Amino acid sequence: MFEGLEIRVPAMRGKMGSRTFYSVLMPMSGVPQFFKFTNWAGISPADREQRVLNEKRVPDLAAYISENEEDYLFSSVTASYKTEPRFEPYKEGSNIGMLILQLGDEFIINDGQHRCAGIVKALESGVPIGKDTISVLLFPWETTARVQQMFSDLNRFVQKTSKSLDILYDKRDDLATATLAMIEELPVFRELTDKESVSLGVKSTKLFTLAALYDANAELLKGRDKEDIDAKVDLLVAYWKAVAQHMPDWTMVLNRHKLALELRQEKISSHSTVLRALGGLGLDLISAEGWEKKLADLEAIDWSKKNPEWEGVCVSANSVLSNRQARAATKARIKSKLGLVLSESEARSLPQATAAE
């Protein structure tokens, strides 16, 4: 593929709007040679051709390649060339052929600078991906204004997938796999969990989101990273089955004796803050003998938003809070209701008046 001071890459020639562009297969080893990483520090945003590279993202991308060397995946990079490349069609008039690039040329990255930086980092770390290829769309560089417009156009309609959907589709994440398996085992979660949205719409018929249950299970499974998935699933199923048995509000919605939207409007029992608090509670309980019996007192808890015991804990002006302090205080409040001993930090997390009760 390399010949003298040239690199020949398979390419297709196309047209988008009024501009001719090339779609090429670039060897990974060519990325550090051709792609320009500009240090934009000190240059005003109006004069930049790209956003500033977030250096903190690069090691994560390199690690992703290294850890998934056989099945990593990147979308196409879009870049602009300043030196016109030479295109050799396989036959006269064909739009398929070879694009000849000169070593020493540099491409301005319009979209994909973090992908390219991650590839460079992986190559520098010795990950053997030099002969792998990545798809690159090459457009002519015209002016800084045009490059800025390209960046805007390429990113304007990009929408980040929801955390729930990321969890649903991520087959490499053991916690995601265990959470999905647990959901399928328990009817209340199987029927009432939204696996796509990160927050529930006003008219949603669901009580939980996959993202909230994932975060709750992250609390419950702390320190169990080395356990296999089956063991994690067994623990999750056992714990949440026991919890669900003492959450009559959930059962009422499951049995269609109450609408999900009514429960969410009136009570906090299915809110992500409570779920994460219950997950943290499980971490404290699960190693103790007879832990299931201790959960029976969950039935006696008044989960109403209007219950003054939640004010300043996880409720403010009838809205449920979801910050770290609210989660810690909610866990402490639940533990106190179950008659469990609070640590000093847990006691401090509660409003002063209620902590002394």
Task: Tell me the per-residue pLDDT of 189-228, one tens digit each, with 9 for 90 and over.
Answer: 999 999 998 899 999 999 999 999 999 999 999 999 889 9
pLDDT digits (tens, 9 = 90+) for 330-355: 999 999 999 888 889 889 988 864 54
DSSP E strands, 308-355: 315-316, 319-320
Domain boundaries, the chain: 2-156, 163-355
pLDDT of residue 278: 97
Residues 6+ apart with CB under 8 A from 221: 175, 178, 227, 232, 235, 236, 283
Nearest to 127 by CA among 52, 32, 5, 10: 32
Amino acid present at 98: M
Q: Which residues of 110-130 are buried (b: 16+ CB within 10 A; e: fewer)?
A: bbbbbbbbbbbbbbeeebebe
The reported pTM is: 0.78
Q: Which residue has the tokens 């509000």?
A: 249
Rounded to the nearest integer, the mean pLDDT of the chain is 89
Nearest to 35 by CA among 27, 47, 44, 45: 27
Q: What dihedral do alpha carbons 38, 44, 47, 50 form, nearest 10°?
A: 40
Distance CA 208, CA 263 (A): 12
pLDDT of residue 356: 44
Q: Which residue has the tokens 């930090």?
A: 345
Nearest to 121 by CA among 171, 54, 50: 54
